[in-house]
Amino acid sequence: MSVYLPIAEMSVDALLLLGIGLGVGWLSGLFGVGGGFLLTPLLILIGIPAPVAVASGANQTLGASVSGLIAQWRRGNVDPRMGVVLLVAGLAGSFAGTQLFVLLRRLGQVDLAVSLFYVVVLGTVGALMVRESLRAILRRRRLAPARTHQHSWLHGLPFKMRFRRSRLYISVIPPALVGFGIGILSAVMGVGGGFMLVPAMIYVLGMPTTTTIGTSLFQVTFVSANVTLLQALQTGSVDIVLTLLLLAGGVAGAQFGAAMGTRLRGEETRALLGLLVLSVALRLLWDLLETPGSLYFLGTAT
């Protein structure tokens, strides 16, 4: 069953879009990530023009995160206070990131910069997550007592704030820095940033895995709404038909994912997300190294 997309100006198989939406939505609910880092490349792969894929991907991420956010909120897994701190810093960061993106484009090779960014960031994050979570799983197997978070210099910073849901009493500076940094990265890489936010909250802020997922969805919801609006205003490449088709599969997938996530242990969820992030990084690295099928491609003439 084919459907014509009004903004992308092409017709695609509706069932294929529903399937992609379902798969990405499932991951979104399970891991609390928007799935943009998977969705956008998949849409480009099936022939959607890149600007439409990026803009509509952000719009679909919004819907999927709202769905996941409601599911997580009911389970009491959202730390609104932490979410607001991350969000405010994240919006400031994404503004700075947009400026950096413009600068990179002026220098040329922005595609290469984004690809390398992806490989390095995803590769590092994925590898660290897999290593840590495997250790945690092994430790539990040996019935060794799990250590609570360690105290470091981070706990000596001023402006302390109580994040009750996350059972944390820490300075507001580390979450603000994390939010700002991820705002920059997400603007440059064109994604919501959930896949970087979740590990940062776990390893840098020491939040429990359960609240990181709900809180990350909180942040991703607002960041993707911001991106959707900016894309609609600046590039006019948000395709609502594409978005709604992806969402039809995505909201269902997000609910299944969220339900499944509660049955998994924190370290198991982290290991799976780590593996996913790592495999995307390897795939992108492969694209950089492999001889392309065609040495030529059509660019957009401005």
Q: Is 89 in the site for other proteins (CB under 8 A)?
A: no
- Among residues 6, 7, 31, which one has the least CA distance to residue 256? 31
Q: Minimum distance between the CB of residue 153 and other proteins, rounded to whole angstroms?
A: 37
Q: Are 32 and 72 in contact (CB under 8 A)?
A: yes
Q: Which amino acid is at 244?
A: L
Q: Which of 209, 210, 228, 269 binds other proteins (CB under 8 A)?
A: 228
Q: Is 233 in the site for other proteins (CB under 8 A)?
A: yes
Q: Minimum distance between the CB of residue 251 and other proteins, rounded to whole angstroms?
A: 2
Beta-bridge partners for 169: 162
Query: What gap in Å lies between CA 215 and CA 223, rounded to an integer?
Result: 13
Query: What gap in Å lies between CA 35 and CA 38, rounded to an integer?
Result: 5
Q: Which of positions 3-42 make contact with other proteins (CB under 8 A)?
A: 3-4, 6-7, 9-11
Q: Minimum distance between the CB of residue 215 and other proteins, rounded to whole angstroms?
A: 17
Q: How far is CA 229 from the centre of its chain?
A: 18
Q: Minimum distance between the CB of residue 243 and other proteins, rounded to whole angstroms?
A: 6
Q: Which of 57, 63, 190, 193 binds other proteins (CB under 8 A)?
A: 63
Q: Output 56 or 209, the one with its CB closest to other proteins.
A: 56
Q: Are 115 and 283 in contact (CB under 8 A)?
A: no
Residues in the chain: 302
Instruction: Look up tokens 């595609």; give the residue.
Output: 111
The stretch near other proteins (CB under 8 A) out of 129-137, 181-189, 207-215, 229-237 is 229-237
Q: Which of 255, 268, 275, 282 binds other proteins (CB under 8 A)?
A: 255
Count of residues binding other proteins (CB under 8 A)? 58
Q: Which of 18, 87, 247, 271 binds other proteins (CB under 8 A)?
A: 247
Q: Are 267 and 104 in contact (CB under 8 A)?
A: no
Q: Is 220 in the site for other proteins (CB under 8 A)?
A: no
User: Hey, CA dihedral for 183, 284, 46, 297, is it positive or negative?
Assistant: positive
3-state secondary structure of 47: coil
Token pair listed for 264 = 């998994």
Q: Output 202 or 254, the one with its CB closest to other proteins.
A: 254
The stretch near other proteins (CB under 8 A) out of 170-178, 187-195, 204-212, 249-257 is 249-257
Token pair listed for 292 = 């392309």
Instruction: Look up tokens 């890149």; give the residue.
Output: 50
Q: What is the CA radius of gyration of the chain?
A: 19
Q: Which of 71, 198, 220, 273 binds other proteins (CB under 8 A)?
A: 71
Residues that bind other proteins (CB under 8 A): 2-4, 6-7, 9-11, 59-60, 62-71, 74, 109, 111-112, 225, 228-229, 231-233, 236, 238, 240-241, 243-244, 247-248, 250-252, 254-256, 287-292, 294-301
